[in-house]
Structure 1
Amino acid sequence: MPQPQKHLRTCNLCEAMCGIEITHDQGHILAIKGDPGDPLSKGHICPKAVALQDLHEDPDRLKYPLLKTPEGWEQISWENALNEVASRLRNIQAKHGNNAVGIYLGNPTIHNLGSMLTLMPFLSALGTSNRFSATSVDQLAPMLVAMKMFGNQLMIPIPDIDRTDMMICLGANPMASNGSLMTAPGFKNRVKALQDRGGKLIVIDPRLTETAKIADEHHFIRPGTDALLLMAMLHTLFRQDLVDTGRLTNHLQGINIVKNMVVGFTPQKVARITGMKAKDIRQLAINFAKAPSACFYGRMGASTQEFGTLTNWLITVFNTLTGNLDEPGGVMFTRPAVDLPGLANVSGNTGSFNSRKSRVRKYPEFGGEFPASTLADEMLTPGKGQIRAFVTSAGNPVLSLPNGRKVEKALQQLDFMVSVDFYLNETTRHAHIILPPTGPLEHGHYDLALNMMTVRNTAKYSSALYKPMPDTRHDWQIFNELTRRLQSHSPLKWAASEAQYLAIKKLGDEGMLDLALKAGPYGRQPEALSDMQKRMARFMYKRFPASGISALLDVSPYSRHTRGEQHNLSLKKLKQNPHGIDLGPLQPCLPERLGTQGKSINLVPKLFMKDIVRLQKRLERKTKPAPDSFALIGRRDVRSNNSWMHNSERLVKGKNRCTALLHPDDAKKLGINNGDNIIVSTRIGEIELPAQITEEIMPSVLCVPHGWGHQRTGTQLSVAEKHAGVSVNDITDDYSIDALTGVAAFNGQQVTVSTIKIEKNVVRLNDKRLASSSAS
């Protein structure tokens, strides 16, 4: 009789990349547990991993193409679906121009190997400038800072938490996320190890988060004032003569400019605005600077706010001026097996900013994309370049973008829309055709993007647990087929595109990954090269470190930082080591790895310096908010990440998590009791949800989670509909932005809170008034 089997893989439902062990009996999943042999997660697992089974078995998950008809959704063949999509897109572009088609990529895209490998050819074939993604509702700020300071948008510093003596978390909750732009599964265990070796974790946040509860210190701070705090901490460094830039001193520009820049931002002045005491601000800076090693880390609360770019810039400057950049225990840079940052340096594709502006609001592009805060405007505003057709991939912008009702309105008036998605959700219900890819357990997995963010270099490949169902398609197959159909029909271009199509089809995602691993810094030594050629390559590497040849060698097995001959990575070797392979701790790599001219770091990019004037005005503002006015912040739950996870009963069961947290003093002023439904409103609308009164939130701050709002009709999310909640983005103002980038300021927006009023025979509910007769 067959015995249960074990399948090892990486959970791809969030950024943590936890190793899991799936016990199954002839394909039927019996249990999902943490894999203690995984070199990164070491057995840690969070509740989300069970959703892999729920997703695979979900009767609501789509498997075959759907066409919207007057009678409803109709299943059609892949050939007809792909031909129809390509034909509709081409016809609209032929009539209105390439930019008449827009595209939005959701964040699950980066968790998918096939999508990552085939999206660029698809985008090239699509040929539109109207590109949008979750980047501009998530991590654009730290990526822009990386581009301006290190010359490469992918060179994001990662906290070396496993070797640090002090860690400060600002606007981040890794206990719920296990790290974001810091892949650190088992964060609680890593903090315990930090504390056991005498180190400290300090959390600065408007809420006593799950992370704050295990920290050594927690400081409340008013939302949106993080940049002011950092200016005061930098002021303290110079005032106390604590600036120490270590071995990078000769590669830094602008230290004196920073010193002059922070003169007016004293802890005393900043304390009034931030809500933190001046003595605490000073002591934080002093303790950080004097620690043997320390890392300052900020995330969503620090990024998606009015001064998100400035905050991320100042965090990097603070880490640098305390000697904690590119040093063990500080913030460091990864060396992934497929070295995307290194390849970007070699190709020169290290990022772009403001090379063009969006049509309606004139927002700057970043990395070829416009801020998603203006997506709806580009659809609703007539004129040349108006988006008339739309492509979405693994995204739900109706729930994830600001002013979701406006986004909804914009989608309703499109000429054509296609979604690559396996759910009929709040966004894809507006599509004319849905192309569902296979599920996570039906294809192999390797994290190309997230390996750039890990706190330790590792590599791991997960084979598929299940064979795809008959006549289904992987993401890479969908994009490859669409790319072929969209390519130009000129003979020369057609021949090149056909060759590309055939190569991708033959190699598949596994074949492409194998080539990338072999050519990467831990890959196989080229056997065809003679010993003389190998010695010559190493000579060129050492003799001409700034040359293009040296840069190319740096992302190959000849990398001086990886000694690739000891690893000989290939897909075959990863399959032979299903737990994953440990490639070692993060290593210092500057200045060689910089993509800047002259291999130097500019501490004061002009773009950021110009915004100091706006920050100064914020410091001088003295307006006092009304008693019913609150600063809005979001929150993350360990059982949730993207909105589609709400269709897993195991992840949504229990007490209602879509509640508004507010302080007891505020509740008393407004006459609100715990559990009362309240109205939260802004200029664009209002939502109704239960109040949860707690001292874990700062006074005059309201906290509402994102990703809910499943009450809309026309979806096929049977579990989520029963736990609908409300979408906080129905009230987030799409004109409340970081002025530097156009990124939506989800955190720190002012909202008004009121109780539900019953006046005579009229009951106010959401944005409707339901009249009832006194007789009833």
Structure 2
Amino acid sequence: MTTEQTHFRTCNLCEAMCGIVIQHDGKKVLSIKGDKDDPFSKGYICPKATALQDLHEDPDRLRHPIERTATGWREISWSEALDKVAAGIKSIQKNYGQNALGIYLGNPNVHNLGGMLTIKHLLTSVKTRSRFSATSIDQLPHHIVSMHLFGHMLRIPVPDVNRTQHMLIIGGNPLASNGSIMTAPNMRQKLKDIKARGGKVVVIDPRRTETADMASEHHFIRPATDVLLLLAMLNEIYAQGYADKAFSSNTAAALAPEVERLADFAKDYPAEKVADITGIAANEIKRLAKEFCEAKSSVCYGRMGVSVQEFGLLSQYLIMVINLVTGRLDEVGGLMFPNPAVDVVNNSGPGYLGKRHSRVSNLPDFNGDYPVVAMSDEMLVEGEGQLKGFICVAGNPVLSTPNGEKLDEAFSKLDFMVAFDYYVNETSRHAHIILPPVSPLERDHYDLTFNGFAVHNVAKYSPALFAKHKEAKHDWQIYLELADRLDKKVPVATRVERQLIKRLGPKFMLDQGLKRGPYYGMTLNKLKKHPHGVDLGPLKKMLPQAIKHKDKQIHLNMDFYQADLERVQQMMAQYNDKQILLIGRRHVRSNNSWLHNSYRLVKGKPRCTLMLHPDTAKEYGIEDGQKVAVTSRVGSVTIIAEVTDELMPRIVSIPHGWGHGRRGVKQKIAQAHAGVSVNDLTDDTLIDQLCGNAAVNGVPVQLIALKSESGDTDIDVVAESEPKALSDNIMG
């Protein structure tokens, strides 16, 4: 007879760090609910938490290494798999050079304690400079701005949402994302609380999102023109003397020697000059600036819609500058620095930009990673340094990065590829060998990354719920065993560290991090005694101590950012307001392409639709539910129209992470709800030229209404097209 047991844990499927209570019988999950005693989430969870059970029990999830053969996939032993992977990597590097091996790190890596603490051993063992990561199709501008201003790429201040009176959200939808570079569970309640205490929530977005729906007010803005709105707001802040008033009591501004130069930064961008292009009237822009500055406390926050566009870095810089010059940086209710129990900032390098450039497109690296938009050309363009082998770690870039079909083709031409993945998905199907780690419920968890973005300081350790099968391996075990095979001549200290991890697991490294952290007496044993987590208090003022520059001053790097204004001028001169522009969108039940094999998260009406305004639909003869061909410079998809006034005219939206209809994918539920990939339309030549970040918002497209031959309008039943790159026998 089995006994029902209780396990307390942190959900690690997104950034929110929600506490959960799992009822189980020792072998099977019985229920997953919110933990009301968790000091951070206080009982809140979103629908994604149930996917922890679905992922653990999924019959499609790989539990043994598999090898691709001429007749299909076959299971192989771990020793054979690791030996073959090591041999494949060595062969590529011997025949073509050290850097002919590429490696991509997907964002699930930062949700994984053991992986985060040990991935360095894999990276150093392969000794390649050809590295890529999901950073450059996401939050890269945040890192660069923080590196420049505060001296470290991870010293990122976050909105003090629990105490602010005025929150300006630009290009963010925290009700769907649960925050994002702002770890904040139950954002719906937090925004309600702002309004309940007499405050205001303002959303700027080309779409009336879930967040905009509950905000105090929402303003439509044309994609990729956020930079003009921000410049006009900065102009107004100086023109009306708000910056001068803030400087008298602004300790943060006093730490920025170049701050007086900011008065001229936006002098050529009055509200009247940008109104027509942005779609926001001049008097409204001025009011937005006035109300922001006159609120008792306020914070400006911009996220994905700002970051992944052609002026993402300059826009994120302007957001930081606006918070700084209005006295909102390092102030209660403004933009504040978290103080996590494990101080990752003081135990990692500050980051750098542009030490090297990619071989084909000459794009700058950031902290050793080249932009993802460079990846396919590095494989396809012949010449010295061409990528011939590849390692994909916890990522699905065929669906998540621009020009997915081109990348699909590139992967199909590699001499050797290995994927660290649970599934045969759109990317891993190209691998010669797939190495699957254990499920999230079979590993210990502590949020090394997201505590650094938390809107309230907490710490929580969750031991593994289920013991892994004796033949299964953790990510960190795979990394270390492969590193041992690839690089036997390592320093003594590295060899000792690897042996300790093998014997004790990576949690001993976590314990060391806690002991060296900012909270005296904090240890792993202490956290184990508090299964709901430990409340470490609200965000506090941390300047100048938080600054990592040796002079303890804020470096505005004005020349670097001001030079990009020439590109802004070119954009204004060439702007075409008649062009149809594509933007993405997120949903609270999705997390990129990860969770579409969970039946609970994909049920309901199809979500992969083309949203467009009624005026746009009328202009192109498109009716609700009709099939539409959407074409960009790089590709075309066929998708069902969803006519709605959620979008401004001449803007269309397709959600991110779908497109599971490619042949060879082994995810039955995802394939039954295939949808189309928005990244078969996004363009790998559209980038933020200041840093190489992908610009996937504001992609020019054309629309053609299609007549349905069968009358079937359910796009989730079957894929509309099959990319040319995949050979017919990949799955046998």
- Taking structure 1 as the reference length, the TM-score comes to 0.90
Separation (CA, whole Å) in 1 of partners of 2:557 and 2:352: 18
Amino acid at match of 1:666: T
Deviation at 1:3, TM superposition (A): 4.0
Q: Residue in 1 aligned with 2:541?
A: 588
Deviation at 1:475, TM superposition (A): 0.5
Amino acid at match of 2:353: F
Match of 1:722 among 669, 672, 687: 672
Q: Residue in 1 aligned with 2:498?
A: 501
Amino acid at match of 1:719: I
Separation (CA, whole Å) in 2 of partners of 1:327 and 1:494: 45
Separation (CA, whole Å) in 2 of partners of 1:758 and 1:633: 25
Deviation at 1:504, TM superposition (A): 1.9
Tell me if structure 2 keeps the 8 A contact 1:631–1:700. Answer: yes
Q: Residue in 1 aligned with 2:475?
A: 475
Q: Residue in 2 aligned with 1:411?
A: 411
Structure 1 consecutive aligned stretches of length 4 or more whose deviation exceeds 6 Å:
none
Tell me if structure 2 keeps the 8 A contact 1:678–1:753. Answer: yes
* Higher deviation after alignment, 604-613 or 738-747: 604-613
Match of 2:660 among 697, 706, 710: 710
Q: How does 1:441-480 map to 2 (within 5 A)?
A: 441-480=441-480
Q: Residue in 2 aligned with 1:516?
A: 513
Q: Residue in 2 aligned with 1:195?
A: 195
Deviation at 1:575, TM superposition (A): 1.2
Deviation at 1:2, TM superposition (A): 4.9
Confirm whether residue 51 of structure 1 aligns to residue 51 of structure 2.
Answer: yes
Separation (CA, whole Å) in 2 of partners of 1:23 and 1:619: 57
Tell me if structure 2 keeps the 8 A contact 1:150–1:594. Answer: yes
Q: Residue in 2 aligned with 1:386?
A: 386
Deviation at 1:498, TM superposition (A): 3.3
Tell me if structure 1 keeps the 8 A contact 2:26–2:466. Answer: no
Give 3-state SS (helix, strand or coil) of 2:218's partner: strand
Deviation at 1:329, TM superposition (A): 0.6
Confirm whether residue 639 of structure 1 aligns to residue 592 of structure 2.
Answer: no
Match of 1:302 among 297, 300, 306: 306
Task: Summarize the Cα distance change of 1:247–1:512 in structure 2 as closer, same or farther, 3 Å threshold.
Answer: same
Deviation at 1:651, TM superposition (A): 0.3
Tell me if structure 1 keeps the 8 A contact 2:277–2:577. Answer: no
Amino acid at match of 1:309: L
Q: Residue in 2 aligned with 1:282?
A: 286
What do the CA deviations read for 1:495-526 (whole angstroms, capped 9, x no partner)? Answer: 5553332122123122221121122112xxxx
Task: Summarize the Cα distance change of 1:758–1:705 in structure 2 as closer, same or farther, 3 Å threshold.
Answer: closer
Tell me if structure 2 keeps the 8 A contact 1:18–1:40. Answer: yes
What do the CA deviations read for 1:30-54 (whole angstroms, capped 9, x no partner)? Answer: 2111101111111101000000010
Separation (CA, whole Å) in 2 of partners of 1:148 and 1:714: 44
Q: Residue in 2 aligned with 1:259?
A: 263
Confirm whether residue 598 of structure 1 aligns to residue 551 of structure 2.
Answer: yes
Amino acid at match of 1:679: A
Amino acid at match of 1:74: R
Tell me if structure 2 keeps the 8 A contact 1:258–1:604. Answer: no
Separation (CA, whole Å) in 1 of partners of 2:493 and 2:530: 37
Confirm whether residue 335 of structure 1 aligns to residue 332 of structure 2.
Answer: no
Confirm whether residue 71 of structure 1 aligns to residue 71 of structure 2.
Answer: yes
Separation (CA, whole Å) in 2 of partners of 1:113 and 1:733: 34
Percent identity, please.
51
Confirm whether residue 681 of structure 1 aligns to residue 631 of structure 2.
Answer: yes
Task: Summarize the Cα distance change of 1:496–1:157 in structure 2 as closer, same or farther, 3 Å threshold.
Answer: closer
What do the CA deviations read for 1:428-447 (whole angstroms, capped 9, x no partner)? Answer: 00000111000000111111
Q: Residue in 1 aligned with 2:421?
A: 421
Task: Summarize the Cα distance change of 1:718–1:414 in structure 2 as closer, same or farther, 3 Å threshold.
Answer: same
Give 3-state SS (helix, strand or coil) of 1:218's partner: strand
Tell me if structure 1 keeps the 8 A contact 2:20–2:43. Answer: yes
Give 3-state SS (helix, strand or coil) of 1:744's partner: coil
Deviation at 1:352, TM superposition (A): 0.7
Give 3-state SS (helix, strand or coil) of 1:661's partner: strand
Separation (CA, whole Å) in 1 of partners of 2:238 and 2:279: 23
Give 3-state SS (helix, strand or coil) of 2:145's partner: helix
What do the CA deviations read for 1:696-742 (whole angstroms, capped 9, x no partner)? Answer: 11111001101000001111101000000000101111001111111
Tell me if structure 1 keeps the 8 A contact 2:202–2:217. Answer: yes
Deviation at 1:621, TM superposition (A): 3.2
Tell me if structure 2 keeps the 8 A contact 1:484–1:498. Answer: no
What do the CA deviations read for 1:329-369 (whole angstroms, capped 9, x no partner)? Answer: 1001111111111223xxxx200100010000000000110
Amino acid at match of 2:677: S
Separation (CA, whole Å) in 2 of partners of 1:591 and 1:516: 23
Deviation at 1:27, TM superposition (A): 2.9
Give 3-state SS (helix, strand or coil) of 1:608's partner: helix
Deviation at 1:176, TM superposition (A): 0.6
Q: How does 1:113-132 map to 2 (within 5 A)?
A: 113-132=113-132
Tell me if structure 2 keeps the 8 A contact 1:131–1:370. Answer: yes
* Structure 2, gaps ≥5 residues long: 710-718, 724-732
Separation (CA, whole Å) in 1 of partners of 2:722 and 2:614: 29
Match of 1:619 among 572, 575, 585: 572
Separation (CA, whole Å) in 1 of partners of 2:313 and 2:208: 24
Give 3-state SS (helix, strand or coil) of 1:644's partner: coil
Separation (CA, whole Å) in 1 of partners of 2:39 and 2:502: 33
Task: Summarize the Cα distance change of 1:248–1:69 in structure 2 as closer, same or farther, 3 Å threshold.
Answer: same
Tell me if structure 1 keeps the 8 A contact 2:138–2:308. Answer: yes
Task: Please identify the structure whose Cα radius of gyration is greater.
Answer: 1
Give 3-state SS (helix, strand or coil) of 2:370's partner: coil
Separation (CA, whole Å) in 2 of partners of 1:680 and 1:252: 47
Separation (CA, whole Å) in 2 of partners of 1:488 and 1:415: 25
Give 3-state SS (helix, strand or coil) of 1:418's partner: strand
Tell me if structure 2 keeps the 8 A contact 1:686–1:766. Answer: no
Amino acid at match of 2:233: M
Give 3-state SS (helix, strand or coil) of 1:721's partner: helix
What do the CA deviations read for 1:574-610 (whole angstroms, capped 9, x no partner)? Answer: 1111100011111111112212242111334322111
Q: Residue in 2 aligned with 1:669?
A: 619
Q: How does 1:87-166 map to 2 (within 5 A)?
A: 87-166=87-166
Amino acid at match of 2:395: G
Tell me if structure 1 keeps the 8 A contact 2:253–2:324. Answer: no
Separation (CA, whole Å) in 2 of partners of 1:597 and 1:270: 39
Q: Residue in 2 aligned with 1:762?
A: none
Q: How does 1:736-775 map to 2 (within 5 A)?
A: 736-756=686-706
Confirm whether residue 610 of structure 1 aligns to residue 563 of structure 2.
Answer: yes
Count of aligned pairs between the two proteins: 710
Q: Residue in 2 aligned with 1:527?
A: none
Give 3-state SS (helix, strand or coil) of 2:386's partner: coil
- Taking structure 2 as the reference length, the TM-score comes to 0.95
